[in-house]
A and B are shown apart, each in its own frame.
Chain A
């Protein structure tokens, strides 16, 4: 082994260029998510974040059997992998960049996990695509771009928002700090962060998943990219033919430095330090650390050799079997349709099963919803519908003047409606629980549901009733009544109901 302390660093700019590109790309992705909102960025500038993924777009095509013009964007990635292999993973992927930020190099494990683990991602890829063919998109949970959008939208940004708010709230108690803090706050909200921090149900599950991807880096650098990422697997297949791929020259002295610096550990010390282009992310670390200039990424059409961890027929068939089994199990009624009372879909969504096979679980609608009425689901639509959007009126109401979810949905799972059409779209039906309603049960005038009802002629009207008090005097009580025909189930009444806990008026599935 050479003396590592006296290594010369061959700085040829490639690594710096790659790192800069990574940071720039991550910043662009974060900005796109941050400014996706009602009256925010145009929907095209938001939707590209997931339309770039050939995995999500191919699954959507297989599952919904409809072709979206916007999904052609993902061909860029597929075609570019014919030239540059998995450069997307090393240079542009926002999740990859985040994983690069958490290298845990101190804890670097000398023993790398078994090479056969690399199979997992191919198995997962088959699972995702086959399930999609059967109309199931649940597994798009594993698409790295949806992971990125979902994690930032549901966990990272709301947590950051709340921490900032809590700190501000503390600081304004210090007399001389309050002025600058208020100035900072009015700069921050609502231009950058929303005026009220969003509350997200099951955010901890999303956060937990995201944190585990990062913690897997403790076992091996870029563990996710090497062994699990189904998009990496999809791009890895055409990468075999990549025009530009890492090639070693005869003058290699087999010093082993490059293989130590490889984030995906694909430089094989037992095979003349060659690497697998479907694992290589073109990070250029090896190029910079090579003491002999004995490797290059020169263009050449020469497909790479097969690897011992390529899926064989048996593994392929196992994956097929698992996907058929799991799709079948997920669609069992006892999981899927258990509790449907509050399965309220975004406005304009009529057919539940069609929605489930169109929605790619990216979470953009959850980000753009200005009242945070839309929440990731984990209970109402069963396992199959995990992370699809549902309306939770107690958390937020469907704004009568807003159609942002449909406008921003990258796959039109939520139809893009005009404001006028959205106002007609029935989401659910409100029912009053007369045993809990302040007016009906406690004889207290309240009328908040009627007052806030946005329907022009009011879907909640007031009946006048008389109530005799214990002292014999009579009071007039205004009793709210829902008009079935005109109620669209927007949930404003449920959201504003002043009764503690569950509202005394609730929107139910129709």
Chain B
């Protein structure tokens, strides 16, 4: 065979590269292949991640100084957040000035406004944005990965986009690019998942779920809200409880605030009927997502045993499901 001249080499190289680059075009010619909804193949770069230690640090140090749980009741959403956080030790307890903050509400659909209690109360989210900025946050981003509609649409219809932007926060539509395949160390079942990388690297992750009914989880609260940080959540429904706890070992919010101002008592998580909505005017604060979930079952007249995944999470050492002996401060904001 004749040696290749440089020109030939370059030509062949460019040809080859173009052919490779053209594959996405071919891919776009067909309907989305089902392979995409499975967990990505091994070829994706896999990064080891270690769970943040901060939660446990807070747990030990916090027990003396601050209540383990704060339950605030009242009608003014912003005051609920402010008074509740004050009791928790202020936003400064959770962040330093210049911190990069991500707030993760539940904005799962774009079908209804906040009244239908399928999405987190916008005033609660906006109040958190303000408090983070007041505490000197460099940037406060609010995001969720909805299953019912595009991010833009859901952000807008939930009413969250308007209030957050006005409060000085940023609404970030979660880009597929930032979902990175992660190995989950010590996982029982969910050995890897595509998780939004900023959620893992941010200085402060605030988990702001809305309390509502759900056929499989029974109730969707703080732990379940973490599912909005991963791709392909449909695929984890079989053996749901184990998968959810595995996910919670790596996605670890430093602060969880359960929005139970309006709770969706039936036909969740999507809702759509105001008769299913119950006004409870309550917010639950804790650094421990498991404890917050555990307490929230009371609003549905249940005990933590009603939610097997909460017990499983406690068994794995992610937090406390048994609230006996913990300091719970209840405050009434209207009084």
B-binding residues in A (CB < 8 A):
38-39, 155, 158-159, 161-163, 165-169, 172-173, 181-182, 185-186, 189-190, 194-204, 207, 370-371, 375, 392, 394-395, 399-402, 438, 444-448, 450-458, 462, 478, 492, 496-498, 500-501
Contacts and interface: CB of A to CB of B under 8 A. Distances in A.
A269 to B, nearest CB: 41
Interface residues of B, number: 51
Nearest to B220: A451
Contacts of B157: 401
Nearest to B149: A399
B330 interface: no
A454 B148 contact: yes
Contacts of B147: 452, 496
> Which of A161, A400, A451 neighbours the largest number of chain B CB atoms within 10 Å of its CB?
A451
Given A190-B151, A200-B29, 7 more contacts: A39-B153, A190-B152, A196-B176, A198-B28, A401-B157, A455-B272, A457-B272
Considering the complex of A and B, which 7 residue pairs feature the smallest CB-CB distances, nearest first?
Answer: A456-B272, A162-B24, A204-B29, A199-B32, A401-B111, A456-B273, A159-B25
B24 A182 contact: no
A400 B148 contact: yes
B150 A38 contact: yes
A444 B24 contact: no
A492 B174 contact: no
B112 interface: yes
B25 A189 contact: no
Contacts of A158: 28
B305 to A, nearest CB: 16
A454 B117 CA distance: 14
Interface string B6-45: 0000000000000001011111111110100110000001
Interface string B275-315: 01000000000000000000000000000000000000000
A260 B139 CA distance: 63
A76 to B, nearest CB: 34
B235 interface: yes
B111 to A, nearest CB: 4
B267 interface: yes
B175 interface: yes
A165 B177 contact: yes
Nearest to B35: A500
Contacts of B183: none
Nearest to B270: A454
Contacts of B148: 399-401, 452, 454, 492
A496 B175 CA distance: 19
B215 interface: yes
Given A190-B173, A401-B110, A447 B149 contact: no
Interface string B116-156: 00000000000000000000000000000001111111001
A73 to B, nearest CB: 30
Contact of B176 (A195, A201, A371): A195
A498 B235 contact: yes
Main secondary structure of the interface of A (DSSP, over half): loop
Contact of B27 (A162, A451, A453): A162
B161 to A, nearest CB: 11
Given A194-B150, A370-B150, A163 B234 contact: no
A373 to B, nearest CB: 11
Contact of B234 (A189, A448, A450, A501): A448
Contact of A185 (B175, B234, B271, B272): B175
Interface in B236-266: 237-240
Nearest to A461: B215
B31 A199 contact: yes
B204 interface: no
Nearest to A155: B28
Given A190-B150, A401-B109, A395 B237 contact: no
9 contacts: A39-B153, A163-B24, A195-B173, A197-B28, A201-B31, A207-B29, A392-B31, A399-B148, A448-B234
A298 to B, nearest CB: 49
A169 B177 contact: yes
B178 interface: yes
B1 interface: no
B31 A165 contact: no
B27 A447 contact: no
Contacts of A500: 34, 38
A195 B172 CA distance: 11
B237 A447 contact: yes
Contacts of A451: 214-216, 237, 269-270
B28 A200 contact: yes
Contacts of A438: 238
Looking at A38, A207, A454, which has the most chain B CB atoms within 10 Å of its CB? A454
A445 B178 contact: no
B30 A199 contact: yes
A446 B28 contact: no
B110 A195 contact: no
B32 A395 contact: yes
